[in-house]
Structures are given as C-alpha cells and as structure tokens.
Amino acid sequence: MKFYSTNSRQHLVTFGEAAVQGLAPDSGLYMPEVIPSFPPHFFETLHQKSFQEIAFDVARVFTEKDIPSDHLKKIIGSTITFDAPLVKIEDSTYALELFHGPTLAFKDFGARFMSQALGYFAANEKKEVVILAATSGDTGSAVANGFLGVPNTKVVVLYPSGKVSEIQEKQFTTLGKNITALEVNGTFDDCQRLVKQAFSDRELNEELFLTSANSINMARLIPQTFYYFYAWSRLPQKQNVVFSVPSGNFGNLTAGLIAQKMGLPIAHFIAATNRNDIVPHFLQTSLFQPKPSVSTISNAMDVGNPSNFYRMLDLFGNDFNKIKQAISGYSFSDEETQAAMQSVFAKQNYVLDPHGAVGYLGLKKYQAHHPEATGVFLETAHPAKFKEVVEQILSRKIPIPEKLKSFLVGSKKSIPLQADFTSLKKILKNLSSGSPV
C-alpha cells in the first residue's frame, strides 16, 4: 500500500517511508492511498477473535509489503499485552477503558506499535532515528516508555511547562537513557509548532534522521484503529453504535473514522471537547479557526490548532456536508465536566477522569436526541494520572496504581527551552553530535 501527502496526492511513499518520515516533505500528513473495506463475513465472526488477532488483521492491510507477517505478529504481540475492557455505566452507555497499559493511557497502543515498527525500519536502514514528540500530557509518557531502550533510537519530548500533571511529567522526565525531555516556556501549540519547524528545516534533516511520534505519524494512528474493532466486537448490541471521543489533536477520532471507512459498522461519531472548541465550532459554522489554547482540567485536550483536522477533511473529500453528517461536535466547560464526574460517581460508583467525563457528556448529549443509539465513550487515561484534580472534585482519595508509583520516586531530568526554533535546533544538533545539551 502507498501513502500520499494531504498536500499532494502525487507524493507517494511506502508505509515504512511514511513511518520514518512522520511528516511529508511538503508538510502534509500521510494518508493511505486506498482504505480497503473488509467483507461482511469478517464482522460476523469478529467476536470470536482475540484482541491480538483483530489487531493483526487490521495492521496487515496497511503494512503487508513493508513488514513480513511473522515480524508483524511479533510487533502486535509486543503491543497488545493488556486489555481494553468495555464497562457498562448505564443502559446503552459503555466506557471503553484504554488505560490498562504500562503508562495508563490510550497512547500506549500507538506508542508501543510505533516503537517496534520504527525499530525494525531503523535496523534495516542502519541509522539512528531521532523521534520528536510534542505532548500535552499522555503522548510524552507513552512514547518515552515505548521507545525506552529501543536500539538505534533517541527520543526528544517537548512539553509545556506547568501545563501537565506531576504524574504525567514524571513518567517521561525521570527515564534518562535515550530519552530527553524539553520543558518549553509556552503552550502545547508552541511545542507542536517547534516540532513542525524541525521537520521543515533542510539543514537539520540533512544532519539528523528525524521522525515524529505524535498522531501526525501514521505508525501511531493505525494501531489506534484496533480498539474500535475490538470494542464493537464485544458489544452485546451492535446496531446504531456511536462512539464519543474526547478530542484534542483529533488523532483518536481520525483513527475511528478510518476504522469506519474499513467497513466497521459505526453509525456516528461525537467529537467531544473542552473549551478548546475549534472542531465543534467548525461543525456548526464550516469555519476552521485555530486560536491559542486555553487551560482546562482536561489538559491533554488543550489544543488550539489540531493537526489531524486535515486528515478528517481528506477522509470526506473536503465536503463539509458529509463531515457534518458523520460527526457531531460538542464542547463543555470545566464546571460541566466536574458535575458529570460527581454525578457518575454518585449514581454508578464509577470514577471518570476529566477527559473521559468530556466524552461521557458528549455521548449523553447525543443520546438525548437519539435514544436508540448504543453509545461508547473513550476513557483515555486512568483517573490517578490527574490525582489532585479528581480527588478535589470527588472529595475522595484516588489510589495510585503500582505502575505509576514507580515513576514518582525518580528524579526529574528536563532541559528548559524557550519557545523559539533556534534554541531547539541547537539542542538537537548537540544531541546528534554527542555534545552536552
């Protein structure tokens, strides 16, 4: 299968090239030239397959000429080592818990798959790959832990100072080895801008083998389709299924749309956001107007210029009416998010994290007008990752899982960085040469 740039359908590369490059040379995002659709009988027997078997079937469609089947099975075996259970919250309302991986966030799926795939391609190229990742929270921890110790790779994580939780920060700033954390004096959008500037800098790309670990990379996006297939297969009722996706950079929703294009019977999507309502505003007005992000209690979604919006457009041929038919968009305040967390805990004894709460709110708002819908909202991170916020809202202690406790004892190792590209470029060049950063 070939992949094209959203800025030029004539620019075609293999999956391996798309994964290693991350961003296309023209700054476009890679998309599959064709999205194959599975036949109906594939879905009739899907409930009989394991999570790993489903993931392999989906991944093979995109990678079969780039990664041999036996090696792909090893990658899947290293990626899908934990479950993504469906938990019934209310009638026709389910939480898809995506936080049972090593860093307790949904991004473990994409980061682990990508680290193994890039390790495979780097070994074949006999080059050291430098992976850049901008994070608003969970991407940094998932990517850093996914690539920790992977041969022929170095990881540089850029994160906004003071805008991620302490536990999130500890998960990628205490590792050392091949992981470097850059604490940026700015917002997530500044971090994302710096990463994109690095990919556009000819001198830097001639000197370094750069790629991205954000959801702009197809190797991160493809494994995020796996759990949509898996969740649908485990639903007791498979008619009128809708997914509500708490969204920031919109990689997770884009992955769901790709799964739908592959034939997965999803009736509708809900783009649920916090006050950073760029996409809900677009769905109401047809105007895409990026703006500086604002801080909220669902901080991983504090994105004012979501990159994957352009993939969403591409999937629908830039047809606004088709997008509006497929996706509903709602935004919610911190006060509404807190109220949802308190209500669900009081009635169901279930602890939502602030991001999952936004997804729950989006689903309930949609179901109020579509009571026939069976709804799944994505619980993207364990509540303990936002311990202080959740404890304050629910007035109860949140136990810290053992997986998180091990990070808290480590010492933070990060490098302060001003939000300008000259500073980043100097650090990257020093990192490559082995000089002190």
- Cβ pair 145, 122 in contact under 8 A: no
Residues belonging to the chain:
437
Token pair listed for 418: 């001003």
> What is the rounded CA–CA span in Å between residue 376 and residue 228?
10
Neighbours of 412 (CB within 10 A): 12
Other C-beta atoms within 10 Å of 70: how many? 7
Rg for the chain, CA atoms, rounded: 20
d(C-alpha 260, C-alpha 62), whole Å: 15
What is the amino acid identity at position 391? E
Contact indicator for 421, 197 with CB cutoff of 8 Å: yes
d(CA 343, CA 351) in angstroms, rounded, equals: 10
Helices (H), 246-333: 251-261, 278-285, 309-315, 320-326
Side-chain half-sphere of 286: how many Cα atoms within 13 Å? 6
Catalytic residue selected from 65, 107, 154, 403:
107
Q: Are strands 8-14 and 2-5 parallel, antiparallel or unpaired?
A: antiparallel
Rounded to the nearest 10 degrees, how much is the dihedral formed by the CA atoms of 227, 228, 233, 238?
160
Q: Tell me the β-bridge partners of 212.
A: 132
Count of beta carbons in the 10 Å neighbourhood of residue 224: 23
Burial of 342 (0-12, 13-18, 19+ CB in 10 A): middle
Q: Respond yes or no: is residue 107 known to be catalytic.
A: yes
CA 138 from centre of chain: 8
Closest CA to 234 of 40, 37, 87: 87
Quick check: helix, strand or coil at residue 293?
coil
Instruction: Compute the distance between CA of residue 397 and CA of residue 394 in angstroms, rounded to an integer.
Output: 8
- CA distance linking residue 151 with residue 349, whole number of Å: 44
The answer to whether residues 36 and 222 touch, using CB atoms and an 8 Å cutoff, is no
Q: Alpha carbon of 262 to those of 15, 52, 79: distances in Å?
A: 17, 18, 21
Q: Which residues are catalytic?
A: 107
